[in-house]
Structure 1
Amino acid sequence: MEVSITSRQTIKPFSEQVHLLKPFKLSFLDQLIPPHYYPLVYFYTQPFDCPFNTAQISQQLKRSLAQCLNNFYPLSGRVINNLRIDHFEDGVVFNEAKIHGSLSDYLQNMELDALNKFLPFQAFCHLTDTTLPLLAVQLNMFDCGGIALAMCCSHKIIDASTLSSFLKNWTAFFRGSSYEISHPNLIEASSQLFPACVPPNYSPLINGLWFSERRRKTRRFFFDENAICSLKSKVKSENLEHPTRFQALSAFIWKYAMLASKSASGIFKPSVLANTVNIRPRMESKLPDYSMGNIFWLTFTPYNSTEKDIELQHLAYLLKEAVGNFNRNFLNPLLGEKGFQVISEQLKMLAEFASQGNGELYFFTSWLNFGLDEVDFGWGKPTWFEVPGVDHCPSINNFIIFKEIGQQKGAIEAWIALNEKDMVILEKDPEFLTFASPNYMHD
């Protein structure tokens, strides 16, 4: 598929007063995230009764983005020394591109590698250039009039909650209204609660946990409503009477990823599942979604058993216990300057586990319930929403993302990136494929 860039622009905050704001301080949670982009691509089919005016849409997207950057001004700046964000006048990238082909044809025969052609930058890879923008947008226009709106978001400052709030704000401005931020001072809450204090020599340890030189293979698998209900029934137990979708799917994928690793290496390796947990609603004084930064941390669930049969019920219960321990008794010691010491001990133990070379670390994150599949600029909800994967090296470690499937309620898509040898085994495992489908047919 041929994608031709037709224009490149820089979008700056609409108000020049933003350029005069004091630098935005990073939190130590932000400091611990290696610089890399995570991507999204939204596909919009041209309505039959009201064809897209792409020139008008382009101008309106850029104007509303500039207005939105007044509220989310850190996105228009650049990271300085992993301590702060400044130079808000530098703005965000906005590319326009032509795609030779039909959107409907692409959706019917979607090639995963082609998704990366829609992106303004390479995603899920470690970035060494600190001058790169924190947000980049690419408006891709098909010959048929359909649209693929792609974004690369820097994980240095944008987590799923930040992104969700930003998109609600942007779409509101595009439609002619606004998304009110009731307490603008809370945008900077993270840096006050978790003040920056990570020493520069910590970078090698963090990068080693996030990224691997081993070649990855990324595949997506679909779980329909029946498969999810069946898996929830399988993980249900006296200790877990009401399993969530996330617990059921995580336990299932974790089990078969471990079995694939065992089959590929010939030995059963101990593993740790790291699961992202949003801190905002768990604070004593809850933080709004628009509080910027990486206001999340990880639960760590270890598993080391030589038993031939890995029980889904046991794995799901372990996940429940790990998240259950993520309470105020755990969070309160993280606040203030001593918080980094608590997390540092966790990371050092994890790094020691990873350095031994005989274990597997899996990162799970859920984009469910954030409304990321409902981004409506006035054209209706997207026909399809994707998270492009990466098979490049060095790339992010064993990584699993859950997200909703466009407009199909009750179904979930999992993007799974594993060691190439493990993935070759997983994608052919008949027991795994009983519940996970590698294909999804678009209407």
Structure 2
Amino acid sequence: MMMNIEVLSRETIKPSSPTPQHLRNLRLSLLDQLSVRFYVPIIFFYDHMRIILKKSLGECLSRYYPLAGTIRDDISVDCNDAGAEYIEARVGCKLSEAIKKSDFELLKPLLPFDPYGNVIGRREALVGVKFNVFDCGGVGIGMCVSHRIADAASVSAFVNAWATMSRGGGSSTEADDPIFDAALLFPPIDIVPAGFKLEKRASSSSCVGVLNKYSPTCVQVVSALIWNTFMTTIRSKPKPGNECVAVHAVNLRDKMVPPLPNHFFGNLLQIGVAATTVDGDKDLGALASLIGNGVREINDEYVRRLKMEDDHVDSSKKERDRFLKGEKEVFASSSWCRFPRYEVDFGWGKPVGKRVGIEAWVNLSEQDMAILQHDLDLLSFVSSVY
């Protein structure tokens, strides 16, 4: 059942101080240019509220000034202080009812706009916030941050900086100020086709010998479990692809030597790749090790090669074309487990609604989802499917 939401106000929050003229143009990096064209959506729930967040948002946008700007021609951000969209709304239900909802479509009205929709008819704001007040006095803060300029680590840094300012902490030390130098590491290009580059870096034949030498992480095991079930849905199709590729987003900051700080802003990520054939029985440990090997291939040596490659964009286009032709089946995953999502305190305590264990959100077609929800191997590992 959809929630009844009444929008009370809409406005634009601009940086509290103007961006200096010499910072008005920020070049996008190549990895920004190759990033997906949607927003990173996130919702924080709190059981009560004390303050409105507009003032602290303006203060935070002064530090994260590109987020208040406008992207120009996929090359740069015009840091023109256009501002962030800010909406206040009243929700006609209790907070506890919203927290129980696990269908993203039911929670989407708590966001300022559709993170996957087009921007026709409105300015393409890089940040949107919706401050939702429930009947019980609880609050849901829905946010959308453009993935064209920020990855999950950058979104997390921005939100936590905003929360610190909301608590009256003021600006952080200069050492924690965001760094906008990604274009120096990965210079942009003039023409960018959509897509990303995949290399076959881990395969089932090359991985069997290392099963006892590498212990996968919890996230890799959960990803392998869902990947295995995903291949079950593929085999039910009339003409499945022969190969299934699992891709996992990898943060480059701690893979480089020396590592980059978490407040190094932008899309500093690449894709760890694992591949196997669709047919035949799959051992969960082998699949988890495949994913782990693909992730471990993203290291400092890989980043150095990435900086020197001239054919990165052309390879991206070729891989995209193979996916469109159905030659490969693709299972994509990412994890927020290492980001302090449940530490975001705006001044009224930490978010509520945290669940025990790893919560996995899976997006499939309705037909494939029906197969997944009745897969006995999957159900033997989960506490609930909703």
Q: Does structure 2 retain, via aligned residues, the 8 Å contact 1:274–1:298?
A: yes
Amino acid aligned to 1:367: W
Measured in 1, the distance between the counterparts of 2:239 and 2:111 equals 38
Cα pair distance change 1:184/1:41, threshold 3 Å: closer
Structure 2, unaligned runs of 5 or more: 199-209
Deviations along 1:32-90, one digit per CA (max 9) or x if unpaired, are 113211211111112xxxxx34xxx22xx111111111111110001000011114320
* Residue matched to 2:302: 330
Deviations along 1:253-306, one digit per CA (max 9) or x if unpaired, are 101101112124464641111111111111223211121110111122121253
* Residue matched to 2:290: 318
Measured in 2, the distance between the counterparts of 1:438 and 1:72 equals 39
- 1:416 paired with 2:385, answer no
Measured in 2, the distance between the counterparts of 1:130 and 1:19 equals 26
* Residue matched to 1:430: 376
SS at 1:370's partner residue? coil
Deviations along 1:185-232, one digit per CA (max 9) or x if unpaired, are 8612211100101514x13x56xx9xxxxxxxxxxxxxxxxxxxxxxx
Deviations along 1:101-136, one digit per CA (max 9) or x if unpaired, are 211233346654320111111023465679410000
Q: Does structure 2 retain, via aligned residues, the 8 Å contact 1:28–1:194?
A: yes
Structure 1, unaligned runs of 5 or more: 47-51, 210-235, 385-405
| Greater mean alpha carbon deviation, residues 16-25 or residues 429-438 | 16-25
Measured in 1, the distance between the counterparts of 2:101 and 2:314 equals 47
Q: Does structure 2 retain, via aligned residues, the 8 Å contact 1:5–1:96?
A: yes
Cα pair distance change 1:183/1:65, threshold 3 Å: same
Measured in 1, the distance between the counterparts of 2:4 and 2:235 equals 40
Measured in 1, the distance between the counterparts of 2:314 and 2:177 equals 31
After TM superposition, give the deviation of residue 13 of structure 1 in Å.
0.9
Q: Does structure 2 retain, via aligned residues, the 8 Å contact 1:3–1:98?
A: yes
Measured in 2, the distance between the counterparts of 1:286 and 1:161 equals 14
* Residue matched to 1:291: 264
Measured in 2, the distance between the counterparts of 1:257 and 1:126 equals 28
The total of aligned residue pairs comes to: 373
> In percent, how many aligned pairs have the same letter?
33
Cα pair distance change 1:33/1:320, threshold 3 Å: same
- 1:274 paired with 2:247, answer yes
Measured in 1, the distance between the counterparts of 2:108 and 2:165 equals 28
CA RMSD of aligned residues (A): 2.5
After TM superposition, give the deviation of residue 11 of structure 1 in Å.
0.8
After TM superposition, give the deviation of residue 358 of structure 1 in Å.
4.1
TM-score by length of 2: 0.89
- 1:81 paired with 2:27, answer no
Amino acid aligned to 2:166: F
Measured in 2, the distance between the counterparts of 1:119 and 1:39 equals 7
- 1:344 paired with 2:313, answer yes
- 1:145 paired with 2:132, answer no
Higher strand share: 1
Cα pair distance change 1:438/1:382, threshold 3 Å: same
Amino acid aligned to 2:358: I
Measured in 2, the distance between the counterparts of 1:311 and 1:179 equals 50
* Residue matched to 2:30: 28
Amino acid aligned to 1:330: Y
Of 86, 90, 93, the match for 1:98: 90
* Residue matched to 1:238: 212
* Residue matched to 2:40: 38
- 1:374 paired with 2:366, answer no
TM-score by length of 1: 0.78
Deviations along 1:7-36, one digit per CA (max 9) or x if unpaired, are 011111111244662311100100011321
* Residue matched to 2:203: none
Measured in 2, the distance between the counterparts of 1:77 and 1:320 equals 38
